[in-house]
Amino acid sequence: NSKLRHVEKDVLIPQIMRDRAKELCSDKVQAFTKCCQEAGLLMVAKCRQENTALKDCLVGYYSDPSFYEECKAEYLKQREEYRATGIKKKRQKFTPNV
């Protein structure tokens, strides 16, 4: 049964999307983090470029229908395994095929 409840569509699948997008945008996450650490209190002014690059990367994934479908399929697989075994698995790190 692949019918999704409200909480699955609006909370659980978007959480997978956020986690995977952060992994896929990890270079931009690292650049923004490094800039913030170096800029200190001036990070709002000094790290605009890194912040924009990170937001653009993340939003690109969040708004991609095929990325949503990938994450939905991953969620349904996890749900099926949990229902069969009763054991909740930790989400593995996503590694893109390069």
Q: What is the pTM of this model?
A: 0.77
Q: Residue 40 belongs to what domain range?
A: 6-73
In a domain, 85, yes or no: no
Condensed to tens digits (0 to 9), the pLDDT of residues 3-57 reads 899 999 999 999 999 999 999 999 999 999 999 999 988 988 999 999 999 999 9
Q: Is residue 16 part of a domain?
A: yes
∠ CA 53-96-5 to the nearest 5 degrees? Answer: 85
What pLDDT does 52 receive? 97
Answer whether 60's CB lies under 8 Å from 75's CB: no
The answer to the question of residue 90 being in a domain is no
**Domain total in the chain:** 1
Is 61 part of a structural domain of the chain?
A: yes
